[in-house]
Amino acid sequence: MSYSENAKQIFESEIKELLLLSTKIDSSFDRVVEAVLSCKGKLVLMGIGKTGIIAHKIASSLASTGTPAIFVNAAEAVHGDLGMVGSDDIVMLVSNSGATNEILNVIAPLRNIGCQLIALTGNPQSPLAKDSDLVLSTHIEHEACPLGLAPTTSTTATLMMGDALMVCLMQQRQFRAENFAVYHPGGALGRQLLGRVKNRMTTDIPRVETNALFKQLVKTMSEGHLGMTLVYRSGKCEGIITDGDIRRAIQKYDSFNSLKAEDIMTRHFKSIEQDALLTEALAVMDRHNITTLAVKADKKDDTDIVGIISIHHIIDFN
């Protein structure tokens, strides 16, 4: 068997186990999410060894997406690092076997502190699971390791459970791209989102006159590739037409031959100043469920439109 064929079998083996695990996720997961959401303190993840590395990644992902979380090495915890844990915290103890001494040794001290305990373990019948308030099972039947010794599928399962927890918490907290920028100012997306609207907007503004016929304004919008066009009268911006306005017009009118831009435009449209942060533009788009904003030179003149900013201008991962 070639190395590539062997690699495919390893992938298939892990995927099979993970799919089986996904069918076993139940209300225990719901209770964990609700507990973390209602936590007055932070979520502390503890682990050791390779599982500890996974726990550290889960904590980092949670912290960067709106859930206060830290990682504490279980072996260091009993030598002073328990000072990082408070009674309002929840501690998630991560251990595949649920019988690791370093993990079990912190249970009694954590109980003395008074925090809630969650077991993230591959053995729901383990001493760790029995001594915890809530249990998330990552039980798998077989490791991808042919000896069944090296953590492979079990660590992948733990990582995926952590990802599922993170995404559910993000959704409940309504964590958005502008929040991401605040927590990732050093990353490429963070730097991008903390830039100014004027640096990302387009000045190539689709525009039609108020007396433009329906066919002309649809043509202008198609050529502009922004899903909108501004509407002008004698050099002054009077309104905006978006894809949504076109859909509503199609539903409302039986004939479009004499329909003009002024008949379907929105007069009081959302806009933003050119010196505003991109995070502010995203917040406006999120709040009003829109994907483009007219950009004005300053707050004083709502008709002096100098550009258009779209969500695609802001969030460009390429």
pLDDT in tens, 72-111: 999 999 888 899 999 999 999 999 999 999 999 999 999 9
pLDDT of res. 318: 39
pLDDT of res. 317: 40
Average pLDDT over residues 11-15: 94
Tell me which long-range contacts 67-70 makes (C-beta under 8 A, separation of at least 24).
67/36, 67/43, 67/166, 67/169, 67/173, 68/41, 68/42, 68/43, 69/42, 69/43, 69/44, 69/45, 70/42, 70/43, 70/44, 70/45
pLDDT of res. 303: 63
pLDDT of res. 184: 55
- Domain 196-314: CATH superfamily, name plus number: CBS-domain (3.10.580.10)
Residue 3, pLDDT above cutoff 60: yes
- Reading the block at residue 27, the tokens are 């209300």
Residue 238, pLDDT above cutoff 60: yes
| Separation of alpha carbons 31 and 23, rounded Å | 17
Average pLDDT over residues 224-247: 89
Q: How does pLDDT run across 167-217, given as a tens digit for each residue? A: 999 888 887 665 665 555 555 555 555 678 898 899 999 999 999 998 898
Average pLDDT over residues 236-251: 88
CATH class of 3-175: alpha beta
Fold match, 3-175 / 196-314: no
Q: Is the dihedral of CA 98, 101, 107, 113 positive or negative?
A: negative
Q: How does pLDDT run across 204-231, given as a tens digit for each residue? A: 999 999 999 988 988 998 898 888 999 9
Q: Is 137 helix (H, G, I), strand (E, B) or coil?
A: strand
Which residue ranges make up each domain of the chain?
A: 3-175, 196-314
Give 148's pLDDT tier (boundaries 50, 70, 90). confident
